[in-house]
Structure 1
């Protein structure tokens, strides 16, 4: 059988240019492609020496480092299943993940070893290693004793490669099972659609516990044999300093906002850049336009999920169309996307409905949750994303929000993104979030949380009066609260569940 291990496709780049620099760190350290080949071989040999059962999980609760990326690649190489865990997770969260995933190996930062080992022992984890951002730890010490040659494990396209836990804002977190075929098909599609070119250089400033940084960014550069300028964390001036030596940057909207706050972001600084990509959270149209004006570049916005990797994208090549702000573009080649009503019937152009998808990139299901998996797929095999959106006449998709964020007030459906769009256009408003909270008369009452621009003086009554001239009365927030910032998770998504909880007693005693 053909070996369809994702690592084999990525390894092609390692073998093609062994002495070239693959990754350059912020402290000037350079890793060659041969370094990646040898190091992943040694780590894979270490994992294989543990004689773990087939399909064992390798959990990584580590700071971002090149060695952490190597651990991911070595896990693929050894034919095991990678389980990235956000370093912000605390004891109770990690306890749940270890008991649910039951990994054979846990790798953590040395500073967390005492409590992680305690949890690992309780969960029956056989092997615990440390790995720190300064290239120290027991993982590397043990791997250094292994040989630097390794034949990648044979895997089929439908064999499991990684498990990514969803945020769990409604109920307990679910482990999305992604296969070698899911990840490779998406990487190959994006390589072509985003027009990766010889000589492209990626600024990698994203975390690597999430789809965006671990799969979309890393796979893109590795598959293309492109150098990565590696930052352990996002720092706007460090990114701007590297723009003249790069061609591709991927970020979440928050990163673009922070870059725009820097005077060093100029057209001259971006002159060599080819592509700026945004995702993981909605990009404000104001940010989109300000970026165009400041840099001369049009941000490419795309849409994906932990369960599906990338689904849609605005065009990269001019021949494929223009990039439309406020949309996430068209379905990627080979990916099916449809918008349906509550009865499952296709929605007309411009009508909001439920977004459903299918394709080789769509996950295998939720880890040890067969009932939940079955519930999330339609009878004809489409995955229910939980997002609501609409197609325009050009075939571009706009995501309106999450179905769980839908507000039903007095029997009417209220989509927060529509109201947020009006609020964000008001003078002095930096951004906003609209949520529904319990209301004795209406079931849910609409409220808004608004972040003013620096120095702006906003008036709640004036804003409500203005909204009443723009939208139906049932959509108008009953209250507007002003806050210095909105709560966000590590990937920049607004945590509306926290806002709902904060204001849940507003209209009920």
Structure 2
């Protein structure tokens, strides 16, 4: 057992197996059945590249054999940093078959993050690309290798690999799969906005259940086409059902470099996309430009999550796009709560919905871990067949992050409605302390987004000599920017308490974001000064 990767207790293992959540499948078996029975079926589309199931299956086998020839063995960690390209799928499945453990870094990570991940995991290899989005990852690789002497191999998914090994020459005969469903299959990164990321171990059986169950809930089968517009190294586009779930179902995956409408709208039409995943910030942009591109998304279900989503924004976007929006609250740690496609509009866009399975246990508790009644806010605790029991090499943190009976403390402030559906109110610590009055930013942001002149909004606290903190609204305007007075009047008209009204307004052209697409409030606080507004 890897350090900190606590196993589920025996009684939970037996219960999850008896309930059918966990079986004996491993992620090493991805592709096998379709490759054998319908090998010419298209698995991946990326620009002008098309990869069949048979080709991807054989490619993954050869890569697994090549990694073995390099001396990489079962349990060895490999930091993988690739954009949305076919090589990502081939490398991931090869590692699953070999039993090596990929650590999925994000394309936006740089020296600080990659060096940390390689050193923290004792990685034997770092696998990245050449130049992507104008950045030369080979130079990054050189810096990382100098700082992490234990790194034995640097592999570049580009024929111009410089001083490193091109991935194209990593080849060898297939190796027998020796993985067990209970073993860790790979590591995801925690989605926090500050500090070093925690490493989240995902096992073969828990992630296989996740990708199968989310595909079933979204009605995704062999006829489905999944558009990966967000990074596939992130849980949302990797396994909800994402890249891996689409391949498990025998569907087609279309890989895009970004969610930009000028790229994705033609792909939706050409590939007849049925499902995609999106951050809330892109919804207004898609809605505004759909008419210009004459985009028809009537057959598309959009999973929206990763940040607060105002119901008014979701409903306006659904009307403009003609799509079906499902709202998601998901964590790389395993908890998935979302609305279903067949639920009423106000449910799909006004709540985060219900957990993935009946095996998921969620509690809303007060500061002393006592359950609170429905309608009352508190911290969300969770455990279940996909929720981890411990972060990798984080013993001290695990003591604080989990209850003694295995519930994960999510740090999210939520409530349950009368039907048991989750409503996320914000982070426990994401509160502006305005002279002793606690202002919840997400609540105010949700109201701001209903204003017709606001495209995006973030509420932060800025230092004040009298109150300690004042509330600052940072907005991206939709057309003519609103004034502070207009926004305060608007919020008052919506019944918002006076102490929650923003004291300042800063209008910007865009909000800074973390590598996983969340608004980077730490960066906002650092850049917003006492300038006149």
The Cα of 1:414 is off from its aligned counterpart by 2.1
Q: Secondary structure in 2 aligned to 1:222?
A: helix
Match in the other structure for 1:262:
289
Per-residue CA deviations over 1:103-151 (Å, capped at 9, x if unaligned) read: 111112234324413422431111111113999983433224x22x443
1:5/1:79 contact within 8 Å kept: no
Match in the other structure for 2:475:
450
The separation in 2 between residues aligned to 1:430 and 1:181, in whole angstroms, is: 41
1:83/1:162 contact within 8 Å kept: yes
Asked if 1:36 is matched to 2:56, the reply is yes
Q: How does 1:469-484 map to 2 (within 5 A)?
A: 470-484=495-509
Q: How does 1:307-318 map to 2 (within 5 A)?
A: 307-308=333-334, 310-317=335-342
CA RMSD of aligned residues (A): 2.8
**Gap change, CA 1:423 and 1:267, over 3 Å in 2:** same
Match in the other structure for 1:191:
215
Match in the other structure for 1:16:
37
User: TM-score, normalized by length of structure 2?
Assistant: 0.86
Match in the other structure for 1:102:
122
**Gap change, CA 1:215 and 1:449, over 3 Å in 2:** same
The Cα of 1:206 is off from its aligned counterpart by 2.1
The size of the alignment, in residue pairs, is: 498
Per-residue CA deviations over 1:188-232 (Å, capped at 9, x if unaligned) read: 221222222341122222212211122221122111100122223
The separation in 2 between residues aligned to 1:321 and 1:233, in whole angstroms, is: 27
Per-residue CA deviations over 1:7-49 (Å, capped at 9, x if unaligned) read: 225533333321211112221x221111111000001111222
**Gap change, CA 1:343 and 1:240, over 3 Å in 2:** same
2:190/2:199 contact within 8 Å kept: yes
The separation in 1 between residues aligned to 2:523 and 2:139, in whole angstroms, is: 30
Match in the other structure for 2:440:
415
The one of 268, 276, 299 equivalent to 2:302 is 276
Match in the other structure for 2:365:
340
Deviating more after overlay: 465-474 vs 71-80: 465-474
Match in the other structure for 1:71:
91
The one of 282, 299, 317 equivalent to 1:291 is 317
The separation in 2 between residues aligned to 1:192 and 1:115, in whole angstroms, is: 40
Q: Secondary structure in 2 aligned to 1:163?
A: strand
The Cα of 1:327 is off from its aligned counterpart by 1.8
The Cα of 1:66 is off from its aligned counterpart by 0.2
**Gap change, CA 1:39 and 1:448, over 3 Å in 2:** same
The separation in 2 between residues aligned to 1:307 and 1:358, in whole angstroms, is: 10
**Gap change, CA 1:464 and 1:270, over 3 Å in 2:** closer
The separation in 2 between residues aligned to 1:336 and 1:412, in whole angstroms, is: 33
1:59/1:103 contact within 8 Å kept: yes
1:259/1:265 contact within 8 Å kept: no
Deviating more after overlay: 336-345 vs 40-49: 336-345
The separation in 1 between residues aligned to 2:292 and 2:178, in whole angstroms, is: 45
The one of 84, 97, 112 equivalent to 2:137 is 112
Per-residue CA deviations over 1:76-119 (Å, capped at 9, x if unaligned) read: 11111111222222223322222212211111223432441342
**Gap change, CA 1:487 and 1:232, over 3 Å in 2:** closer
Per-residue CA deviations over 1:381-429 (Å, capped at 9, x if unaligned) read: 2101111111112222121111221223333332112212222223422
1:65/1:133 contact within 8 Å kept: no
The Cα of 1:485 is off from its aligned counterpart by 2.0
The one of 349, 372, 375 equivalent to 2:400 is 375
**Gap change, CA 1:11 and 1:257, over 3 Å in 2:** farther
Match in the other structure for 1:82:
102
**Gap change, CA 1:395 and 1:155, over 3 Å in 2:** same
The separation in 1 between residues aligned to 2:300 and 2:378, in whole angstroms, is: 35
The Cα of 1:506 is off from its aligned counterpart by 8.3
Match in the other structure for 1:496:
521
Q: How does 1:117-196 map to 2 (within 5 A)?
A: 117-123=142-148, 124-132=150-158, 138-144=165-171, 146-147=172-173, 149-157=174-182, 159-196=183-220
The separation in 1 between residues aligned to 2:510 and 2:295, in whole angstroms, is: 31
The separation in 2 between residues aligned to 1:505 and 1:232, in whole angstroms, is: 37
Asked if 1:327 is matched to 2:351, the reply is yes
**Gap change, CA 1:170 and 1:198, over 3 Å in 2:** closer
